[in-house]
Amino acid sequence: MDLTFSRITKAYGEMKSLDRVSFEVKSGEFLFIVGPSGAGKTTLIKLILAATKPTSGEIIVTFPKKKNKKGKIEEIRRLIGTVYQDTRLVMDKTVYENIELALDIINTPKQERDEVIKKVLKKTNLEEKTDLFPSQLSGGELQRASLARALAVKPLLILADEPTGNLDPESGWKLVELLRKINKEDKTTIIMATHDMEIVDSLKTRVVRLDRGKVIKDKKKGKYL
Amino acid sequence: MNTFSTAWHHIRRSPFQSLAAISIMTTNFILLTFFSLLVIGISSTLDYFESKPEITIFLKDNLSQENLYGFRDEISSRSEVKEIVYISKEEALGIYREQNKDNPLLLEMVTSSILPASLEISANNPKDLDTIAQSLVGKEQYIDELVYQRDLVQSIIKWSNIIKKAGLVAVTAISLISFFVVLIVIGMKITLKKQEINVTRLLGASKFYVKKAFLAEGSFYGVFGALVGWAVAFATALYFKDQVAQFFGEISFLPDGYRVYLLILGAEALFGFFLGFFGSWLAVKRHLKY
């Protein structure tokens, strides 16, 4: 799944959250979006998910041929896994049920669900937490449960919005390593918004820096373009 | 996780709101079932009186057979008359004995000579009773006494109309209340689950995917309320069936067999479904504006 941001502007009244932002994300990339609070990172993620509409400009989503979609917002969302700082797990559903919900939405046959859920729980090291509710999990486990839900739908793209924001450094590192592993093994495109520069610097990958709604740097594999 | 298990999940997570919706639906259908049974009972009562000889002419004792047949044929030639039956003195005695078989005192000393012969006339339409009665004016040479149940039938029709109207008003009012309770309960649940709904939408759920569980929940309240309401009313009717039968005598006020009860159940389940479905549909339309 390739993404092209073409002169995207998002304004809330007089205030511009994003101002003529243009860049491309190629399939299989691991991209960090960095910048201080209010830089427009979350707005960018919301725009990719079509949770909000740009004031001007367009986002072009190009699918691989076998995943050709009719362009319905829901169908695009089904190809995107999301991991948020506040996890956005459904609180009155267990870890298993939260993952099953995502599978139900993409119409995965019932007999296949259990296998998929076990697989993603193993990948995220949550096999022992299957029947626990989100309120019974630690911060790191919550983020991994959120990632497990995102992985279950076999996404082409994972959007992670400050996933380490509420985690201790060790849990944060583990989550990023997991994302990196998924990116390498499954060739899943990952866009991670963060302001944790320690994590960003440690991974030699592309970084787009935003400030006051503008792209001020687009650094590829340690080098600024 | 299909629609019904999601709807069931919603019900279990907020049991008191669900209980409120089910209670009002149940009350509605208890009332509706009793009202239906009452209307059926009144209709049976009316049928009973309408099918009975509506005009009874007690004949003079000294009437010759020729005069009697002539008088009978004159009446039966009228288009308003459905049937005319002659009851002889002996047959009248037989009827009297049958009616008072449990009371030997009333049977003593009674012979056919003291009971009058009669003509029992039934009309095609109760409204024709007056016309038939008018045609008998001036026939005093045949008639000893004329009795007809116009007042009783009219009284039953009048009361039946009042009960139907009052019942209809009560059922309409409580149906509207049920409708609004479902609307409010589903609306509250949507508000409480706003975040969950947003998450579901971001995961790629279609608009209908989000809405269908709420529609199923509303429909469930309607159908379940109808089922429970009917069951309560049916059990009550069954419990008092003997007393009611005893009170109304020959009139079968409560329906015999289960066919009518099952028809009522079917109609109520359907009505409950629509009531719940449209209540939740309106709530979904108001609270999920996409």
Does one domain contain both A60 and A3?
yes
What confidence tens digit (pLDDT) does each residue in A65-86 have? 655 555 678 888 999 999 988 8
* Terminal-to-terminal C-alpha distance of chain B: 23
Does one domain contain both A44 and A112?
no
Question: Average pLDDT in the B175-197 region?
Answer: 91
Among candidate residues A154, A171, A201, the one where a domain is terminated: A154
- Under the banding of pLDDT at 50, 70 and 90, the label for residue B268 is very high
Which of A55-64, A140-149, B7-16 is predicted most confidently?
A140-149
Does one domain contain both A32 and A61?
yes
Cβ partners under 8 Å of residue B185, min gap 6: B17, B18, B20, B21, B221, B283
Please name the member of B2, B196, B204 whose beta carbon is closest to the beta carbon of A105: B204
Residue ranges with strand state E in B118-161 = 118-123, 143-148
- Assess if residue A208 is contained within a domain: yes
What confidence tens digit (pLDDT) does each residue in B81-101 have? 888 999 988 888 888 888 777
Cβ atoms of residues B118 and B96 within 8 Å: no
Neighbours of A31 (CB within 10 A): 20
Please tell me the predicted confidence (pLDDT) of residue A225: 45
- Assess if residue A124 is contained within a domain: yes
- Assess if residue A84 is contained within a domain: no
- C-alpha atoms less than 13 angstroms from C-alpha of B65 in its C-beta half-sphere: 1
Please name the member of A75, A89, A91 whose beta carbon is closest to the beta carbon of B204: A75
Contacts of B8 in chain A (CB under 8 A): none
Structural domains of chain B, with CATH: 3-48+154-287 (no CATH), 53-148 (3.30.70.3040)
Q: Is B165 on the interface with A (CB under 8 A)?
A: no
Does one domain contain both A200 and A130?
no
Contacts of A105 in chain B (CB under 8 A): 200, 203-205, 209
Q: What share of chain A is helix, strand, coil (3-state, %, to 5)?
A: 40, 30, 35
- Assess if residue A115 is contained within a domain: yes
d(CA B121, CA B115) in angstroms, rounded, equals: 18
DSSP A87: -
Does one domain contain both A101 and A65?
no
- Coil, helix or strand at residue A176: helix
Cβ atoms of residues A176 and A146 within 8 Å: no
Range(s) of the domain holding residue A143: 90-154
What ipTM was predicted for this assembly? 0.82
The alpha carbon of residue B91 and the mean position of all alpha carbons in its chain are separated, in whole angstroms, by 36
Residue B115: phi, psi to the nearest 5? -95, 140
Does one domain contain both A168 and A149?
no
Question: Which amino acid does the sequence have at B81?
Answer: V
Does one domain contain both A41 and A108?
no
Determine the residue among A1, A67, A86, A101 to mutate to test chain B binding: the one whose Cβ has the most chain B Cβ atoms within 10 Å: A101
Does one domain contain both A175 and A118?
no
d(CA B177, CA B69) in angstroms, rounded, equals: 63
Cβ distance B200 to A75 less than 8 Å, yes or no, reads: no
Among candidate residues A106, A124, A154, the one where a domain is terminated: A154
- C-alpha atoms less than 13 angstroms from C-alpha of A153 in its C-beta half-sphere: 30
Does one domain contain both A69 and A166?
yes
Q: Number of CB pairs < 8 Å for A and B?
A: 45
- Assess if residue A36 is contained within a domain: yes
- Assess if residue A85 is contained within a domain: no
d(CA A50, CA A26) in angstroms, rounded, equals: 19
Does one domain contain both A8 and A62?
yes
Tokens (6 digits) for A49: 């998910």
Q: Which residue has the tokens 């089904």?
A: A78
Question: Average pLDDT in the B113-131 region?
Answer: 82
Give the DSSP H/E element, type plus range, for residue B240. none
Does one domain contain both A11 and A109?
no
| Helices B194-202 and B207-239: angle between axes, nearest 10 degrees | 130
What confidence tens digit (pLDDT) does each residue in A100-142 have? 999 999 989 989 999 999 999 998 889 999 999 999 999 889 9
Residue A51: phi, psi to the nearest 5? -80, -15
Q: Supply the CATH number for residue A34's domain.
A: 3.40.50.300
Cβ distance B202 to A82 less than 8 Å, yes or no, reads: yes
DSSP B117: P
Among candidate residues A104, A128, A154, the one where a domain is terminated: A154
Please name the member of B2, B196, B200 whose beta carbon is closest to the beta carbon of A105: B200
Contacts of B202 in chain A (CB under 8 A): 49, 51, 77, 82, 88
Give chain A's domain count: 2
Please tell me the predicted confidence (pLDDT) of residue B28: 92
Q: Which residue has the tokens 């009505």?
A: B271
Contacts of B196 in chain A (CB under 8 A): 90-91
Does one domain contain both A67 and A7?
yes
d(CA B115, CA B96) in angstroms, rounded, equals: 9
Tokens (6 digits) for B208: 């209908």
d(CA A130, CA A124) in angstroms, rounded, equals: 11
DSSP B109: T
What confidence tens digit (pLDDT) does each residue in A150-171 have? 999 999 999 999 888 878 888 8
How far lies B255's CA from each of A93, A192, B43, B258, in Å?
Answer: 49, 72, 11, 8
Cβ distance A49 to B202 less than 8 Å, yes or no, reads: yes
- Comparing B127 with B228, which gets the higher pLDDT? B228
Cβ partners under 8 Å of residue B2, min gap 6: A104
**Model pTM?**
0.71
CA distance B214 to chain A (A): 16
- Assess if residue A147 is contained within a domain: yes
